[in-house]
């Protein structure tokens, strides 16, 4: 009897230990085939049916179901026995879920972006195209199937195995690895019946199966969209500019790679950002670097700084979505030996100061020209450069004058919340006064909402007093909170590693909006940060700054859906200027 009781205790203990894992595995099994992040018109034709129906909220695709996206639409599908892969189906695509448990898809036409969210031996994904089969494990890759049957593949991470015959991978599979660029696998050319075949083989050709394909580099040589881009630019140039001051419902949008803004996942991500939050403004970030706080030279870093082509691409993409745009050049430090950051950049002699400002001026004027070319609404001439801003105001006044010769839009500078914004002396030369608003909101790791709201009210009183000293409209070009414990305590703390706390992030967002929304001198906020690299992030497992797929995004959409709190001022200005230029007559 004693042994039986002891065995029962052991069994119960093992069951208690295993239960969370069993529940989690059940959750992952339940999520297999789930469609989420839908943007625009998404339809499904269920197996055995002929009619297309709109994908309902929370829909889970079954084996044989076909998903179709319209122009300007896309969605994500979770696949695999442990929900190990996520596939983003781009606009104008038709994809069949061949077998969700085996992670198999069949593309009729269109584009997909595939990634493994939990890389393991289970994260296998097989994609069948009109001209062959691609398969991989734990890899990020992109597939494009044109309606003509042309298939192109680009691998971002890892490798993809490809075979061209009907059997999976074929008898002689090809490996495509990251860094290989875009591979054209299926644009077929024909030979008249009875004619001698054209010369095959060689470095430019690949004969897979019985078909001959165009050179792999042919696809990369083609240009597309240039005409439509010019049309969009002309429409932007002719459009009515944003009013001043403008109410700004914004997000920060960032990439830290040369071509990140040009990749397909960036196109998907910025569309998803606009759809999920109703943002009408976006703050595009570009970063150059200097070695440390005592180095008077700022330069582009080829592997981390977005290229000019990449920056222009994302600015144009944002405009195509109807978004207003701010462009913000950042300065970061390469050296990690000391716990320094950009606010501490400074020098002990005038010669070094002059060299640094000459380098910084070159940087800012470079992007001012791009901002003018792409008709950017607001140009941010600096962010959190506390020592240079406070100690050398004359240099900034000179820089502002030179920028205005190149760029004709509105200007802002973004001062740090700590010991800078109230000390800057050149606000009168700008159009907006900006604050990087990472104000601490509590001394507790897990404060209540009333505590967070009360602290924001205190900070708001300080900001209002400061605003009266210069009279400029105030915006927050950057602010945000991680979705973890301590986010209210140290909003600036990238190093915060507390457990996930989605509610605390949402509470901080809510407190800011409830505090500042109706202030007559406040004109908007940009939340840090919606990244260009991962449109398929699963928010409930993430504790970084992004609001993507988190309750904070829903709250932002609620607030951004409200009427412009300053709209009545625009009507008064219109009446005063157009209807009653001399003032309304009295009876």
Confidence of residue 569 (pLDDT cuts 50, 70, 90): low
CB-CB contact of 285 with 328 (8 Å): yes
CB-CB contact of 68 with 42 (8 Å): yes
- The per-residue pLDDT for 587 is 31
Please enumerate in sequence order all residues whose Cβ is within 8 A of that of 43, keeping only pairs 6 or more positions apart, or say none.
Answer: 52, 53, 54, 55, 67, 68, 69, 70
Is the per-residue pLDDT at 29 higher than 60?
no
Strands 124-129 and 132-137: antiparallel
Which tens digits make up the pLDDT trace of 275-288? 999 999 999 999 99
Say which range, 33-37, 100-104, 110-114, 370-374, has the weakest mean pLDDT.
100-104
Which tens digits make up the pLDDT trace of 177-194? 766 666 766 543 333 333
Phi, psi of 398 (to 5 degrees): -65, -45
Is the per-residue pLDDT at 241 higher than 80?
no
- Of the chain, the percentage scoring pLDDT greater than 90 comes to 49
Is the per-residue pLDDT at 19 higher than 70?
no
Say which range, 28-37, 334-343, 348-357, 552-561, has the weakest mean pLDDT.
28-37
Whether the predicted model's global pTM rises above the 0.75 cut: no
Is the per-residue pLDDT at 253 higher than 90?
yes
CB-CB contact of 315 with 374 (8 Å): yes
- The per-residue pLDDT for 191 is 32
Which tens digits make up the pLDDT trace of 297-353? 999 999 999 999 999 999 989 988 889 999 999 999 998 667 789 999 999 999 999
- The per-residue pLDDT for 137 is 56
Is the per-residue pLDDT at 2 higher than 60?
no
Which tens digits make up the pLDDT trace of 407-455? 999 999 999 999 999 999 999 999 999 999 999 999 999 999 999 999 9
- The per-residue pLDDT for 187 is 43
CB-CB contact of 100 with 79 (8 Å): yes
156-176: average pLDDT: 59
78-100: average pLDDT: 75
Tokens for 423, please give them: 């000390």
- The per-residue pLDDT for 282 is 98
Confidence of residue 76 (pLDDT cuts 50, 70, 90): confident
CB-CB contact of 520 with 247 (8 Å): no
Is the per-residue pLDDT at 568 higher than 90?
no
Beta-carbon count within 10 A of 286 CB: 24
The overall longest dimension of the chain from CA atoms, in Å, is: 103
Confidence of residue 81 (pLDDT cuts 50, 70, 90): low
- The per-residue pLDDT for 52 is 92
Strands (E), 452-564: 474-479, 522-531
Is the per-residue pLDDT at 27 higher than 50?
no
- The per-residue pLDDT for 150 is 76
State which of 42-46, 48-52, 380-384 shows the largest mean pLDDT: 380-384
Please enumerate in sequence order all residues whose Cβ is within 8 A of that of 578, keeping only pairs 6 or more positions apart, or say none.
Answer: none
State how far the Cα of 369 lies from the Cα of 358, in Å rounded to an integer: 17
Tokens for 461, please give them: 């009183």
State how far the Cα of 281 lies from the Cα of 412, in Å rounded to an integer: 15
State how far the Cα of 35 lies from the Cα of 68, in Å rounded to an integer: 12
Is the per-residue pLDDT at 567 higher than 60?
yes
357-373: average pLDDT: 96
Confidence of residue 97 (pLDDT cuts 50, 70, 90): confident
Tokens for 206, please give them: 């690949």
State how far the Cα of 251 lies from the Cα of 279, in Å rounded to an integer: 7
- The per-residue pLDDT for 585 is 37
| DSSP conformational letter for 199 | P
- The per-residue pLDDT for 149 is 74
- The per-residue pLDDT for 169 is 41
Confidence of residue 226 (pLDDT cuts 50, 70, 90): very low
**DSSP 3-state assignment of 249?**
strand
Strands 432-436 and 410-416: parallel
- The per-residue pLDDT for 408 is 93
Tokens for 156, please give them: 């971002």
State how far the Cα of 132 lies from the Cα of 22, in Å rounded to an integer: 38
Which tens digits make up the pLDDT trace of 464-512? 999 999 999 999 999 999 999 999 999 998 877 789 999 999 999 999 9
Is the per-residue pLDDT at 364 higher than 80?
yes
More confident residue, 137 or 555: 555
Beta-carbon count within 10 A of 48 CB: 7
Is the per-residue pLDDT at 45 higher than 80?
yes
- The per-residue pLDDT for 212 is 29
Say which range, 25-39, 87-101, 172-186, 252-266, has the weakest mean pLDDT.
25-39
Say which range, 31-35, 161-165, 271-275, 575-579, has the weakest mean pLDDT.
575-579
- The per-residue pLDDT for 548 is 93
- The per-residue pLDDT for 88 is 80
Confidence of residue 23 (pLDDT cuts 50, 70, 90): very low
Mean pLDDT of the chain: 80
- The per-residue pLDDT for 293 is 95
Strands (E), 277-360: 281-290, 324-333
- The per-residue pLDDT for 208 is 30
153-168: average pLDDT: 64
């Amino acid at each position: 009897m004693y042994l039986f009781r002891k065995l029962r205790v052991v069994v119960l203990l093992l069951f208690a230990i295993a239960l969370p894992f069993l529940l989690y595995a059940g959750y992952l099994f339940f999520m297999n085939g789930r469609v989420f992040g839908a943007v625009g018109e998404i339809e499904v034709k269920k197996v055995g049916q002929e009619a297309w129906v709109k994908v309902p909220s929370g829909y889970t695709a079954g084996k044989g179901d076909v998903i179709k996206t319209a122009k300007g639409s896309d969605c994500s599908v979770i696949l695999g026995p442990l929900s190990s892969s996520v596939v983003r189906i781009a606009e104008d695509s038709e994809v069949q879920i061949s077998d969700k448990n085996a992670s198999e898809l069949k593309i009729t036409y269109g584009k997909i972006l595939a990634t493994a969210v939990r890389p393991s031996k289970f994260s296998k994904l097989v994609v069948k195209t009109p001209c062959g089969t691609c398969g991989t494990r734990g890899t990020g890759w992109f597939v494009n199937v044109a309606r003509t049957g042309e298939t192109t593949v680009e691998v971002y991470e890892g490798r993809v195995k490809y075979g061209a015959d009907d059997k999976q991978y074929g008898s002689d599979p090809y490996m495509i690895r990251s860094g290989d660029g875009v591979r054209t696998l299926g644009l077929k050319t024909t030979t008249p019946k009875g004619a001698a075949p054209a010369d095959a083989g060689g470095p430019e050709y690949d004969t897979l199966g019985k078909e001959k394909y165009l050179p792999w580099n042919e696809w990369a040589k083609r240009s597309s969209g240039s005409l439509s881009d010019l049309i969009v630019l002309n429409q932007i140039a002719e459009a009515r500019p944003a009013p001043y001051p403008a109410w700004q419902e914004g997000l920060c949008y960032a990439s830290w790679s040369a071509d990140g803004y040009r990749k397909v996942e960036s196109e998907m991500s910025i569309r998803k950002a606009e759809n999920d939050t109703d943002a009408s403004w976006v703050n595009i970030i570009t970063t150059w670097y200097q070695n440390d706080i005592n180095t008077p030279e700022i330069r582009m870093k080829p592997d981390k700084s977005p290229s000019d082509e990449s920056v222009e691409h994302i600015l144009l993409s944002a405009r195509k979505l109807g978004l207003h745009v701010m462009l913000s050049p950042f300065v970061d430090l390469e050296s990690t030996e000391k716990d320094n950051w950009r606010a501490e950049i400074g020098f002990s002699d005038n010669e070094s100061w002059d060299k640094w400002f000459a380098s910084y001026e070159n940087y800012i004027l470079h992007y001012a020209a791009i901002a003018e070319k792409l008709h950017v609404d607001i140009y941010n001439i600096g962010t959190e450069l506390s020592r240079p801003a406070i100690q050398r105001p004359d240099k900034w006044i000179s820089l502002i004058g030179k920028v205005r010769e190149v760029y004709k839009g509105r200007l802002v500078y973004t001062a740090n919340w700590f010991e800078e914004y109230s000390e800057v002396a050149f606000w009168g030369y700008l159009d907006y006064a900006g604050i990087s608003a990472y104000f601490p909101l509590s001394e507790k790791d897990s404060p209540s909402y009333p505590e967070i709201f009360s602290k924001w009210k205190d900070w708001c009183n300080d900001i209002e007093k400061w605003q009266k000293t210069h009279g400029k409209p105030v915006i927050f070009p950057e602010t945000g909170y991680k979705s973890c414990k301590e986010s209210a305590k140290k909003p600036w703390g990238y190093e915060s590693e507390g457990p996930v706390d989605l509610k605390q992030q949402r509470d901080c967002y809510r407190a800011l909006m409830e505090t500042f929304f109706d202030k007559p001198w406040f004109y908007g906020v940009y939340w840090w940060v919606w990244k260009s690299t991962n449109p398929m992030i699963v928010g409930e497992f993430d504790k970084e700054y992004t609001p993507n797929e988190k309750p904070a995004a829903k709250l932002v959409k609620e607030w951004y859906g409200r009427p412009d709190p300053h709209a009545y001022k625009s009507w008064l200005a219109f009446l005063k200027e157009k209807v009653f230029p001399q003032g309304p007559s009295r009876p």
